[in-house]
Chain A
Amino acid sequence: MNDQRKGEHAEPTTHFGFKDVPESQKAKKVAEVFHSVAAKYDLMNDVLSGGMHRLWKRFTIELSGVRSGNRVLDIAGGTGDLAAKFSRLVGPTGQVVLADINESMLKVGRDRLLDRGVAGNIEFVQADAEKLPFPDNHFDCVTIAFGLRNVTHKDEAIRSMLRVLKPGGRLLVLEFSKPTNKLMSKAYDAYSFAFMPLAGKLITNDSESYRYLAESIRMHPDQETLKAMMVDAGFDRVTYHNMTSGIVAVHRGIKP
């Protein structure tokens, strides 16, 4: 829905932060960003969110209703925060699949989880959210935390998630969104465009990746638009919860 066509034969473009890039280039550029930040991803998350990302993920897990024996797919699972919790919840009879398109992030996530003793019921798969390599009606719950905004064709990705969910299964999308308070919105803008690239420069020596992060958040659909996209894809009972004045929202939809 963010795609633009520049002429009949030209390749469709999509946004990469505030820039327009050919669709075929976006995945590569996003991959470069995450290759660059993978090693210090957790540290940067803590610094930039003041540790709040842990509480946002915690609330997402509470909404998941995942139980012992369930099969869970964590897309764009990164360093495995959600997957580790799901692994505890599903127990030895369940299964968790941590999927990420980015090899570096997946490697960091796998090493981190193995170091923490999270193993046995967890698998690591390098996969594109738009073309999930899993059978239909396979998972009880699918989550994507802070990943959807980096996907080139969000509609396709949501439809792919619907396909792999079992009927009655739920999709949870945790993502940055639009602040509901004007004052908060202004403060958040100042923070995102001034502090985030500076922190990126100081900690990872890479301000560009964090400038992209701030820009990609602004280009991501707001709460109502994402809800409409999930309804269009075929999800039922789609609701969302704003957190921290709408800076982050978690959308939930059930497969009919």
Chain B
Amino acid sequence: MLLAGLLASVEHGLNRILRMDSTALPRLAALEGKVIAIDCVQPALQLYILPDADGLMLAAHWEGEADCTLRAPAGSLVQLALAKDKSAVLHSPQVQLHGDSAVLLDLVAVLQDLELDWEYELSRWLGPVPTAMLAGHLRLRARWTRQGLARFSQNLSEYLAEESRTLVGRREAEAAFSELDTVKIDIERLEARIRRLARSLDTSDNA
């Protein structure tokens, strides 16, 4: 019952988020009637996902057959959720996929493409004018913070590399690496030359 309660809460929250994207629900409607089973091996946990035009329904048990079953340890499932290259994770040996994988990939694509319209949701609570003012203010603050962080990062790296000399600067390091590469190649050439000379000396002794 505890798990059922938890799933009910997650489902409620997830569907609210899905409603904030104008394309998510119509895309999920195309998956209506499909059942996706997520079988977590470590820890042992099963989750069934049923998409439809109203969002996602989550269940801890499902009596019917699943269209697609994904069996993997929790670590791989998290990796799958976060990784950009899903197919690399899906092809790893710990992950098993049975049934129609297109159903799972379609669902993942819907979740990955979410573009949440926070302003619309906020406007339902605050009204259009306060929302526009608040959103404008927040956007300005966000831009100011991003620019501030970028400037701080640049200044800090310049200070550490140029003024305190605690770290080596990027260009200096690149020049040093380039010199090291040249020395490495020269040594390899010298080794090859010595080997060739040694071989020619051996052949002249035998003659």
Report which A residues bind B (CB closer than 8 A).
52, 54-55, 58-59, 61-69, 85, 88-89, 91, 243-244
Contacts and interface: CB of A to CB of B under 8 A. Distances in A.
29 contacts: A54-B8, A55-B1, A55-B4, A55-B5, A55-B8, A58-B4, A58-B8, A58-B59, A59-B1, A59-B4, A59-B61, A62-B48, A62-B59, A62-B61, A62-B62, A62-B63, A64-B63, A65-B62, A65-B63, A67-B33, A68-B32, A68-B33, A69-B33, A89-B50, A89-B52, A89-B57, A91-B32, A91-B52, A244-B1
Contacts of B35: 67
A67 B64 contact: yes
Interface in B16-48: 32-33, 35, 48
A66 B57 CA distance: 13
B52 to A, nearest CB: 5
A89 B35 CA distance: 10
B54 interface: yes
Interface in B86-113: none
Contacts of A52: 1
A55 B60 CA distance: 11
A49 to B, nearest CB: 12
Interface in B46-86: 48, 50, 52, 54, 57, 59-64
Task: Describe A's contact surface by its main secondary structure.
Answer: helix
A143 to B, nearest CB: 13
B60 A62 contact: yes
A217 B200 CA distance: 104
A91 B50 CA distance: 12
Interface residues of B, number: 18
Nearest to B54: A88
Contacts of B57: 85, 88-89
Nearest to B32: A91
Most chain B CB within a 10 A radius of its CB, from A62, A63, A65, A68 = A62
A119 B177 CA distance: 70
Nearest to B59: A62
Task: Describe B's contact surface by its main secondary structure.
Answer: loop
A65 B65 CA distance: 8
- The 5 A-B pairs with the shortest beta carbon distances in the complex, nearest first, are A68-B33, A65-B63, A65-B64, A62-B61, A62-B59
Nearest to A67: B64
A87 B4 CA distance: 20
A67 B59 CA distance: 14
A89 B5 CA distance: 20
Contacts of B64: 65-67
A105 B62 CA distance: 29
A35 B33 CA distance: 37
Contacts of A244: 1
A85 B64 CA distance: 16
Contact of A63 (B32, B33, B50, B61): B61
Contacts of A59: 1, 4, 61
Nearest to A85: B57
A243 B1 contact: yes
A26 B51 CA distance: 43
Nearest to A64: B63
A124 to B, nearest CB: 20
B62 A88 contact: no
Contact of A88 (B8, B48, B52, B61): B52
Contacts of A62: 48, 59-63
Contacts of B61: 59, 62-63
A135 B156 CA distance: 80
Contacts of B1: 52, 55, 59, 243-244
Contacts of B32: 68, 91
A81 to B, nearest CB: 13
Nearest to B2: A55
A149 B1 CA distance: 24
A52 B1 CA distance: 9
B63 to A, nearest CB: 3
Contacts of B63: 62-65
Contacts of B62: 62, 65
